[in-house]
């Protein structure tokens, strides 16, 4: 039987998980289950061992990771447990179909399924961000101290991007993480509900990201209606990175990918989408999954990933296949030969 893995910061009450913050629990849920509950809780040690083993158990010949790839997915506001599981599974299936062989796991933070709870959810997101540090980053630090070469990544959707930014700020201020020698592979935002102004280099999370992350990719859609609402609630003074994109000249580690032209070619299917189509279409798109897969694998320079077109020094998402002979390049073999003390060179 196949399983999905989640770290949840939801409060457990009467055997069910709620939309309020609570102590962390580690979840292993059968893939055919619609929700998870108390019966799916397992010990942290067992959870980490199983997740790392699964991530490392299927070598990807296209990845620069000597062993495996692990992607932490952090969802946005107003997500039910059902939606979190559905999106995790859809993203994982699409990436698998696009030849990525890593493991997608979720960090499920409590978020009310009502629009009026939006600002309350952002407060909850800030509250649980330190839990993201205490779990995900602690797993990273512990595994890398053990010379584990699993490549660990994060992706944040909507307000999940906000949770990740707050987590990086906590990491900057918390002694054992600030002083430890740890790194992440890739961090990506999709429909990021964070201010584009926060990328001007003054925020602590940007400083930590530049120090600890191999590359950051911001996927944005100028036609994102949900982020238009988010911007309006702030009286338009703080454009969202997931709708407007990033400022120019942010350095080599930060990549902006405009998905607007490609998005306009998509016909919404009400049976397939989850939530606002313009805000959540990424989960259903094989083209996006292909681009994200090649991004996480790290074998191709950011400007030359085939699913991107460079126009006027800006990258635009497009529908294009992988390089025809990429599986014969020996990418993973080269990565395994160029390791030093358990760390990729």
| DSSP calls for 110-169 | ---SSGGGHHHHHHHHHHHHHHHIIIIIHHHHHHHHTT---EEEEEEETHHHHHHHHHHH
Share of the chain above pLDDT 70, in %: 84
pLDDT score at 343: 42
The mean per-residue pLDDT over the stretch 276-302 comes to 95
Distances (CA, A) of 153 to 9, 21, 107, 255: 19, 24, 12, 15
- Banded model confidence at residue 272, pLDDT cuts 50, 70, 90: low
Residue 61 located in a structural domain:
yes
- Inside any domain, residue 26: no
Q: What is the DSSP string of 53-121?
A: HHHHSS--TT-S-SS-EEEEEE--SS--HHHHHHHHHHHHHHHHHTT---EEEEEE----SSGGGHHHH
Report pLDDT for 126: 62
Kind and range of the H or E element at 242? helix 241-244
pLDDT tens for each residue of 112-131 = 644 334 444 555 556 667 77
Structure confidence at residue 345 as a pLDDT band (50, 70, 90)? very low
Closest among 331, 180, 179, 314 to 250, alpha carbons compared: 314
Q: How many domains does the chain have?
A: 1
**Does the pLDDT of residue 142 top 50, yes or no?**
yes
Highest-confidence range of 50-59, 160-169, 184-193, by mean pLDDT? 184-193
Name the token pair of 155: 């992706």
- For residue 308, tell me if it sits in a domain: yes
Rounded to whole angstroms, how far apart are CA atoms 247 and 44? Answer: 40
Share of the chain above pLDDT 90, in %: 50
Task: Give the confidence band of 237 by pLDDT, cuts at 50, 70, 90.
Answer: low
- Paired tokens of 186: 């890739």
Which CATH number is 136's domain given? Answer: 3.40.50.1820
Residue 55 lies inside a defined structural domain of this protein: yes
Q: How confident is the model at residue 90 (pLDDT cuts 50, 70, 90)?
A: very high
The answer to the question of residue 330 being in a domain is yes
User: Is residue 38 in a domain?
Assistant: no
Minimum mean pLDDT range among 166-170, 199-203, 219-223, 239-243? 199-203
Beta strands at 151-157 and 69-74: parallel, antiparallel or unpaired: parallel
Q: Is residue 80 part of a domain?
A: yes
Q: Which domain holds residue 178?
A: 43-344
Mean of per-residue pLDDT scores for the chain: 85
Cross-strand pairs, 274: none
Between the alpha carbon of residue 90 and those of residues 59, 125, 236, 280, the distances in Å are 21, 23, 33, 12
In a domain, 105, yes or no: yes
Model confidence at 70, pLDDT cuts 50, 70, 90, reads: very high
CB within 8 Å of 115: residues ≥ 6 apart: 78
């Amino acid at each position: 039987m196949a399983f999905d893995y989640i770290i949840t910061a939801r409060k457990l009450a009467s055997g069910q998980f709620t939309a309020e913050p609570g102590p962390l629990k580690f979840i292993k849920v059968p893939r055919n289950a619609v929700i998870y509950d108390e019966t799916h809780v397992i010990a942290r040690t067992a959870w980490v061992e199983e997740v790392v083993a699964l991530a490392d158990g299927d070598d990807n010949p296209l990845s620069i990771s000597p062993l495996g790839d692990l992607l932490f997915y952090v969802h946005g506001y107003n997500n039910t447990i059902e939606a979190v599981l559905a999106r995790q599974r859809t993203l994982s299936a699409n990436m698998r179909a696009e030849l990525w062989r890593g493991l997608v796991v979720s960090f499920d933070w409590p978020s009310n399924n009502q629009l009026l709870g939006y600002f309350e959810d952002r407060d909850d997101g800030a509250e649980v961000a330190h839990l993201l540090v205490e779990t995900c980053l602690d797993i990273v630090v512990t595994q890398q101290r053990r010379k584990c070469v699993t490549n660990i990544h994060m992706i944040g959707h909507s307000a999940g991007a906000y949770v990740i930014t707050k987590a990086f700020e906590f990491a900057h201020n918390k002694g054992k993480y600030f002083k430890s020698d740890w790194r992440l592979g890739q961090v990506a935002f999709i429909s990021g509900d964070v201010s584009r102004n926060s990328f001007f280099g003054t925020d602590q999370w940007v400083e930590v990201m530049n120090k600890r992350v191999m590359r950051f990719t911001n996927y944005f859609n100028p036609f994102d209606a949900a982020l238009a609402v988010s911007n309006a609630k702030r009286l338009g003074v703080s454009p969202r990175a997931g709708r407007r994109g990033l400022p120019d000249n942010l350095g080599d580690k930060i990549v902006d990918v405009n998905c607007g032209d490609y998005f306009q070619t998509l016909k919404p299917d009400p049976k397939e989408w989850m939530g606002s189509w313009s805000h959540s279409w990424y989960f259903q798109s094989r083209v996006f999954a292909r681009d994200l897969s090649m991004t996480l694998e790290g074998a191709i320079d950011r400007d030359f990933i085939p699913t991107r077109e460079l126009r006027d020094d800006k990258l635009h998402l497009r529908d294009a296949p992988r390089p025809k002979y990429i599986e014969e390049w020996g990418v993973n073999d080269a990565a395994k030969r160029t390791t030093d003390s358990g760390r990729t060179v």
